[in-house]
A and B are shown apart, each in its own frame.
Chain A
């Protein structure tokens, strides 16, 4: 194989080669990002704990459950901890365009139920003791430069203070997470602080609990607890739906639609478009090189070499495009992970994703190179030289 000729041909049309490489790079980048999201969803679901159940309203996640349900749930055998979760939906005063979730929780049962979380700065006991304290994820703390002891003003959108001022939470602990199911950006504060403020007229907002988390004792079948919880409120006053954490996450994600299928469709469309772009480039290259191929064959190069030359050129363009696309993906991973951390903590550009991107590019290069390669191989020397005129 005349490798030197291969590279000279690639570099012979720098603009066209650059555009093709750029198109492949963008396609590989997009495919990898879409795959990273899809596999991130899987990782998030796979990492969900089997011993945590979530009880929500059977009507909708947006309908709160009565506070009194906690006591009734506690009567179900096989539960060793219950933790309330209430979506706060506030905005940080200094970054109103930014987003990170905030939840009111029960500090006594929260951390013990989530062993994936580790306090890396401050003290959980201090968070637990202080009514207006909060615990924040390490990514959010880093992003805003928050330190332990600092007061963070959050304006409520669902729960608004009647004095018109923002809520103020004191950072007492910063946590990190080792699981794809738990993000590193949320802010947790005392549910009781929120409830008391509403009850005492210091704030307005719905009374109740968004979700109850039940931690099942070791050795207990979660399905039994799940059925017992649903049966407990079958006759009202408000029916509940108890699911595993994985199922809850799946339902939450499916509120956006069938994301994996949508992403695969987009990825497929991108590949389809890029395949035609590369095929077009290679067909043009093949036609332009009819004379050159005729000369090579006259000099003694075989039909096979002539065909392989075009196939290799197609593969080379796609391989360079793949390398650039993967580099772009690696560079974009951190900012993209930050952007999606709230709903996709499992997002990551792993080896399998990179491998998929490379395989896709080489597959496109191979298929797009076959047609011009076959044409080059079948071209007779006399016809190729005659085309010169």
Chain B
């Protein structure tokens, strides 16, 4: 069973230049495991902050963030790091591959934290790259790849350690429409075939149609949730 994500009365406030800004305001939200969610809302509505909290990159000021069986608020810095390594894969807008490593080495990077032999790491990284259709680009460095290929390597890196949750922050923001479609198809396939729970931040309504449900945030609070599956059935 894929991990469910539960947020209870989550509050997050940032202080910038002496001013406090409440980004998430007692947010309650429950997401089912194995579902593809799109997270939408205007700039400053708290989308990326929510993603960071669910991914254990940041901690809430108040409330609970529970992913699977783990209450992230109970973990310290190194426990959170270890939890991230096992349970979450990240896909960023700017791809965020390490430029000095090849595609294969980038994908192998999170596997260094798993108890695997060198051969096992290599095999697992190659499988992940095959899954995203890049078996012929394994030894290329990021600068030798197109934007779409870079993002597919980033997705391969995110799934290499087989996490249950994939978090994607504007994964198609830097891509053209066609390439974005390829990446979104891939994410949808990972959700449907491998039952990954996916939470994707996007500004693009077209990208959001790939998700099962679309969560709308507004000023740190939950707006509405659209169910694309129900809409598809109706039509």
Chain A interface (Cβ < 8 Å from any Cβ of B): 2, 4-5, 8-9, 11-12, 291-292, 294-304, 380-382, 385, 388-389
Contacts and interface: CB of A to CB of B under 8 A. Distances in A.
Contacts of A382: 52, 57-58
A210 to B, nearest CB: 67
B85 A295 contact: no
Interface string B71-107: 0000001100111111000101010111111000100
> Which 10 A-B pairs have CB atoms at the shortest separation, nearest pair first?
A300-B85, A8-B100, A12-B100, A299-B110, A300-B84, A381-B57, A302-B81, A295-B96, A302-B78, A300-B113
B121 to A, nearest CB: 11
Given A300-B113, A302-B78, A5 B96 contact: no
A290 to B, nearest CB: 12
B58 A292 contact: no
Nearest to B96: A295
Contacts of A2: 109, 112
12 contacts: A4-B101, A5-B109, A8-B100, A9-B100, A292-B98, A294-B96, A295-B97, A298-B84, A298-B90, A300-B84, A300-B86, A302-B82
Interface of B: 52, 55, 57-58, 77-78, 81-86, 90, 92, 94, 96-101, 105, 109-110, 112-113, 157
B57 A301 contact: no
A299 B77 contact: no
B77 A303 contact: yes
Nearest to B112: A2
Given A295-B92, A388-B92, 5 more contacts: A294-B96, A296-B109, A302-B77, A381-B57, A388-B94
A11 B96 CA distance: 20
B78 A295 contact: no
Given A9-B100, A388-B96, A299 B109 contact: yes
Nearest to A12: B100
Nearest to B110: A299
A304 B113 CA distance: 14
Contacts of A389: 94
B170 to A, nearest CB: 12
Contact of A5 (B55, B81, B90, B101): B101
A301 B57 CA distance: 12
A389 B48 CA distance: 13
A299 B101 contact: no
Nearest to B86: A300
By CB atoms of chain B within 10 A, which of A295, A300, A380 has the most?
A300
Contacts of B90: 298-299
A7 B57 CA distance: 27
A317 to B, nearest CB: 15
Contacts of B110: 299-300
Contact of B85 (A291, A294, A299): A299
B141 to A, nearest CB: 10
Contacts of A388: 92, 94, 96
A78 to B, nearest CB: 76
B29 to A, nearest CB: 20
Nearest to A3: B112
B113 A301 contact: yes
Given A4-B105, A5-B101, A382-B58, A300 B82 contact: yes
